[in-house]
């Protein structure tokens, strides 16, 4: 075992030991503890947990890698994912917390109709499943490289660990585990970034210093057959329109993601939900403001490392990552003259986006402990989000489907918990298969989940809170339209289910189609609601109440703080 593997093993075992200990000490027996942690999580802790839940393998592993190759167009992930939290904090979180239910489908069912709840539960399972596939793949990549195992084995190991502590502790265990995971992942992300910035520019503030390398990076990118890093709208085939739609899709999807929204049900008060969003945005910004610098420095070090070097003396990281199949050098090449992230491009060196962040310490020549810490951080990011997603799948299957549709005569606490845990196990098994053979890069797979969330949940949540006239018939029609349209376009443009990928219509990528689906959902819901009977007066009064709280409710909140 070399130094890198030794330090990786040490950090992963230590961090996993902490996570599992927390899960064991937080184990639960009641559904309220399992799903919303008895609504007793402090604001600051919930903000850190939201940030960890949010910053998945896509944020930690995939985003900076995509920025490295997309250049300025990678800003769609920064603007979309952070902008969505502003929408969530202002328009959704406090109102949904005041409604006081366990899950998003439960809110939908009470606000609209039980039939709409069924659609919402199915949509929550679909969205969460697509999202968890990216986490499985990210965990597999980490284990494959740093523990020297096959990627299939890596996916299975990460899945088993996720399942253990998610099933044991439920939302209570997951919450405090995610606080620990946030500390691990942000430390693992910032230390190498600061070290690389200091080595490259003598300024240990990556968010500031990476501006000094952009001119050199642009020139190197062109030399190796890539577009300039700073060139606008060159990284996406659809150009400006696609950049706008992907940003909008990620933003609306962020505000509509069930596994993020459910976290705001765990706070003690409505005000706590709002402040949790503020703290979450602050914690997220620490990583998101650093990601462009990580992408730029990593790409610079990668290109400088192969510039003018013969293939018989390439840097060691190429051979190490080549064993995973995520880095390849074309046969018969003497010197690397072209680089790409696309295996079909014919480039001399093909580098998978998803390895760049984890390879960045090796590219910069940092010591083994830093590389090991980076691996532990990547696993923390993948595991924290996957656990939250499994909880959504569990709650949708047990609380919103089994309890409401199948076992209508009433289900005991033990029965609901058992069904929820079985749903987690089934989701894990299917996600393992999909995680081994994902349809795209980690961040792109996650973006598909955001598109589905944008086209299904965001419109009906916004209309459900701010438009009393929206009814169950309109919501059902809108959700089905958005979900079917968006999923169909994604399947049409991706290599999934054994189908060939087709050309993007009007240059719109599958990551950006969710914004169009959301617009269709809004339109259909409004039109159908206006053409059918309005909701009952009781429902309209409830909508009025969550937006304009009565004096006693407002007084109670004030006294709590």
The string of pLDDT tens digits covering residues 224-234 is 999 999 998 88
H/E stretch holding 537: helix 537-547
Biggest alpha carbon–alpha carbon distance for the chain: 78
- Do the beta carbons of residue 455 and residue 486 sit within 8 Å? yes
Q: Which of 3-17, 32-46, 185-199, 281-295 has the lowest mean pLDDT?
A: 32-46
Query: Bigger pLDDT: 17 or 37?
Result: 17
Q: What is the pTM of this model?
A: 0.81
Average pLDDT, stretch 100-124?
85
pLDDT at 170: 55
pLDDT at 301: 93
In tens, the pLDDT along 280-299 reads 888 988 999 999 999 999 99
Task: Quote the tokens at residue 448.
Answer: 């598909």
How do beta strands 349-351 and 327-329 pair?
A: antiparallel
Task: Quote the tokens at residue 426.
Answer: 């089934």
DSSP string across 47-66: HHHHHHHHS-HIIIIIIHHH
Average pLDDT, stretch 17-21?
81
Where do the structural domains in the chain lie, given as residue ranges? 10-298+365-549
How distant, in Å, are the alpha carbons of 6, 164, 291 from that of 10?
Answer: 6, 20, 26
Query: Bigger pLDDT: 329 or 136?
Result: 329
In tens, the pLDDT along 537-555 reads 999 988 888 877 554 444 4
Q: Is the pLDDT of residue 528 over 60?
A: yes
pLDDT at 441: 59
pLDDT band per the 50, 70, 90 thresholds, residue 411: low
Question: Measured between alpha carbons, how far is 168 from 163 in angstroms, rounded to an integer?
Answer: 8
- Do the beta carbons of residue 445 and residue 438 sit within 8 Å? yes
Question: Measured between alpha carbons, how far is 209 from 214 in angstroms, rounded to an integer?
Answer: 10
Query: Bigger pLDDT: 263 or 72?
Result: 72
The three-state secondary structure class of 233 is coil
Query: Bigger pLDDT: 19 or 183?
Result: 183
Q: Which of 326-340, 395-409, 531-545 has the lowest mean pLDDT?
A: 395-409
Average pLDDT, stretch 117-138?
84
Average pLDDT, stretch 482-500?
85
Query: Which residue is it, tokens 């969710």?
Result: 514
pLDDT at 559: 41
pLDDT band per the 50, 70, 90 thresholds, residue 556: very low
Query: Bigger pLDDT: 498 or 72?
Result: 72
Q: What is the arrangement of strands in the sheet containing 349-351, beginning at the earlier edge strand? A: 327-329, 349-351, 339-340
pLDDT at 500: 78
Closest by alpha carbon to 49, among 175, 173, 183, 189? Answer: 175
In tens, the pLDDT along 24-59 reads 776 555 455 555 444 557 788 888 888 887 777 778
Question: Measured between alpha carbons, how far is 384 from 131 in angstroms, rounded to an integer?
Answer: 12
Residues in contact with 542: Cβ distance below 8 Å, sequence separation at least 6, in sequence order: 99, 110, 111
pLDDT at 410: 63
Give me the percent of the chain exceeding a pLDDT of 90.
Answer: 32
Using a 10 angstrom Cβ sphere, with 0-12 exposed, 13-18 middle and 19 or more buried, the burial of residue 98 is middle
pLDDT band per the 50, 70, 90 thresholds, residue 352: confident
Length of the chain: 561
Q: Which of 36-40, 91-95, 271-275, 330-334 has the lowest mean pLDDT?
A: 36-40
Q: Is the pLDDT of residue 508 over 80?
A: yes
Quick one: fold of 10-298+365-549?
A: Sodium/glucose cotransporter (1.20.1730)
Q: Which of 148-157, 197-206, 233-242, 317-326 has the lowest mean pLDDT?
A: 148-157
pLDDT band per the 50, 70, 90 thresholds, residue 62: confident
Q: Is the pLDDT of residue 561 over 60?
A: no
- Do the beta carbons of residue 35 and residue 399 sit within 8 Å? yes
């Amino acid at each position: 075992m070399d130094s890198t593997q030794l330090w990786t093993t040490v950090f992963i075992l230590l961090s996993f030991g902490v996570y599992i200990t927390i899960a064991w000490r937080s184990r639960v027996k009641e559904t309220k503890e399992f799903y919303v942690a008895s609504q007793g999580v402090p604001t600051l802790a919930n903000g850190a947990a939201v940030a960890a839940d949010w910053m998945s393998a896509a944020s930690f592993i995939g985003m900076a890698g995509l920025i490295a190759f997309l250049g300025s167009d990678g800003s769609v992930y920064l603007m979309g994912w952070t902008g969505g939290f502003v929408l969530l904090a202002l328009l959704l979180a406090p109102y949904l917390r005041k409604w006081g239910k366990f899950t998003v489908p439960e809110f939908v069912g009470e606000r609209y109709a039980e039939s709409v709840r069924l659609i919402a539960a199915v949509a929550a399972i679909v969205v969460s499943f697509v999202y968890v596939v990216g986490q499985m793949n990210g965990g597999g990549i980490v284990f494959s490289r740093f523990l020297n195992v096959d990627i299939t084995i890596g996916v299975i190991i990460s899945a088993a660990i996720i399942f253990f502590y998610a099933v044991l502790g439920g939302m209570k265990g997951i919450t405090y585990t995610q606080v620990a995971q946030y500390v691990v992942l942000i430390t693992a992300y910032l230390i190498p970034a600061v070290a690389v910035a200091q080595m490259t520019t003598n300024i240990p503030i990556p968010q500031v210093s990476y501006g000094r390398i952009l001119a050199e990076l642009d020139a190197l990118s062109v030399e190796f057959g890539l577009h300039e890093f700073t060139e606008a709208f060159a990284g996406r085939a659809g150009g400006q329109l696609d950049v706008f739609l992907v940003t909008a899709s990620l933003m609306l999807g962020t505000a509509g993601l069930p596994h993020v929204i459910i976290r705001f049900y765990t706070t003690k008060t409505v005000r706590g939900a709002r402040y949790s969003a503020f703290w979450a945005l602050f914690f997220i910004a620490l990583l998101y403001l650093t990601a462009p610098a990580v992408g730029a420095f990593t790409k610079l070090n990668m290109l400088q490392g192969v510039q003018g070097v013969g293939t018989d003396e390439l840097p060691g990281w190429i051979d190490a990552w080549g064993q995973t199949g995520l880095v390849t050098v074309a046969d018969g090449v003497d010197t690397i003259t072209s680089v790409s992230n696309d295996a079909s491009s014919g480039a001399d060196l093909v580098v998978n986006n998803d390895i760049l962040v984890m390879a960045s310490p090796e590219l910069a020549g940092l010591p083994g402990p830093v590389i090991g810490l980076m691996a532990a951080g990547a696993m923390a990011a993948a595991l924290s989000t996957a656990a939250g997603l499994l909880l959504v799948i569990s709650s949708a299957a047990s609380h919103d489907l089994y309890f409401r549709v199948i076992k209508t005569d009433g289900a005991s606490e033990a029965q609901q918990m058992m069904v929820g845990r079985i749903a987690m196990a089934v989701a894990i098994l299917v996600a393992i298969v999909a995680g081994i053979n994902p349809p795209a890069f980690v961040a792109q797979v996650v973006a598909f989940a955001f598109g589905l969330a944008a086209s299904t949940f965001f419109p009906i949540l916004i209309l459900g809170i701010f438009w009393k006239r929206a009814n169950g018939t309109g919501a059902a029609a809108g959700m089905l339209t958005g979900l079917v349209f968006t999923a169909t376009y994604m399947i049409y443009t991706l290599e999934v289910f054994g189908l060939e990928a087709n050309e993007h219509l009007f240059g719109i990528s599958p990551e950006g189609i969710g914004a169009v689906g959301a617009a269709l959902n809004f339109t259909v819901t409004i039109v159908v609601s206006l053409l059918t009977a309005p909701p009952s007066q009781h429902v309209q009064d409830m909508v009025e109440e969550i937006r304009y709280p009565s004096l006693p409710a407002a007084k109670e909140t004030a006294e709590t703080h």
